Amino acid sequence: MSDEGEMSAGAQAPLAGVRVLDLTQVIAGPYCTAMLADMGAEVVKIERPGTGDDLRSVHRYEGREEHEDYFYANNRSKKSVAVDLKKPGGRSAAHELARRADVLVENFSPGTAHRLGMGWEDLSPLNPRLVYCSLSGFGQDGPYRDRPGLDPILQAVSGVMSVTGLPGEEPRMIGSPLADVMAGMFSAFAVVSALQAASREGRGRRIDVSLQDAMLAGLGPRMGETLQAGISPGRWGNENPMRVPANTYLTSDGRYLAIIVQNDRFWPLFCRAMDREDLIGEERFATMAGRLEHREELDGIVARVFSERPSAAWTPRLEAERIPFALVNDFAEALDDPQARHRGIVCELTHPASGPIRVVGPPWIMTGAQAEMTSPPLLGQHTEEILREWIGWNQAQIQAFLVDHAPE
């Protein structure tokens, strides 16, 4: 998504010319490097010959067995090089690539990169300007350092599950890998900041991002009462502990509407939208404090009102009063939402094996030159290109490497 109106001659994408060596897989690391690619960096993904990123083979459902749908999500605009880091020739090639990179991102278990000869301590002497970012579940040190850190585990340890679900019921996971995505975003921000410092100081920096830290940082205001008063808030389902009405309400056509009446100014407007002006004069509902005190009664009234009409009837009424609301969409509906279509967040690309595919692109619109989005790569698709263009190998050297790295 871009605004071409302010492009000037010779303009480049923000990270054009930045070379990123991507030693990550699954979600958190690839999310970080996808954001860098979206900004114009050349991202070269190092993958195991024959298998590649684990997401290339995860959950291939009926009718899509030959496709890599989960892999496509976070690997747009990257190049794939098949390298076996356990082989001396592979490690040597990776070192040569690292010498010429501006950034390296890895999400091995702590200590693994160093055992493969690709740790910060191994590469910084070869390339002092290298920005080196490590992502892991719990960080590079501490008592949990060696624990596997998958997203559901981080939702548990960070407290997110304790506030997700219904009161009195078991804790629940959020239905998306939030810890991975947040760690990826924070990592991309740290990398870009370290690149700025490297341009000023002439030296790279080591970045250590843990998914646990990312989740705690992302909880932010939700933890205010815990940080300052030691109070853990518990589970509220779809309700809001500080506002009423604030819930999801079932309409007569079986759709749910999420609605929040955020302050006293919106209360009479909401009553008009419901055709219940009689409630405006109800003293017990006149203030937020009163509505909180009578939460159960008021929520029951609102639920009954919304159950009497279909969602399409409520939409114009709520819009007219500018009440914050939305239909509860499933993923297909969310991708086809009129506002999402208008913004162009869903992009169509042509994959060399799968043909037309859709991906969710960068969530910003920026003036000036933008990076051209390209299809997620086939495994090893760019091995020859990168060995030739980055390292300068001739065809004989490349061929010997390919023979050595042929899948077994």
Q: Which residues are catalytic?
A: 180
CA-to-CA separations, 115 to 15, 94, 240, 272, 276, in angstroms, rounded = 31, 14, 48, 67, 68
Strand order in the sheet with 19-23: 78-82, 42-47, 19-23, 103-106, 131-136, 206-210
Note whether 298 and 285 are within 8 A (CB): yes
Burial of 176 by CB count in 10 Å (0-12 exposed, 13-18 middle, 19+ buried)? exposed
Say how far apart CA 61 and CA 122 lie, in whole Å.
41
Note whether 71 and 48 are within 8 A (CB): no
Longest dimension (CA), the chain: 86
Say how far apart CA 103 and CA 19 lie, in whole Å.
6
Side chain identity at 13, as an amino acid letter? A
By C-alpha distance, which of 163, 164, 191, 40 is closest to 106? Answer: 191
By C-alpha distance, which of 391, 408, 395, 333 is closest to 81? Answer: 391
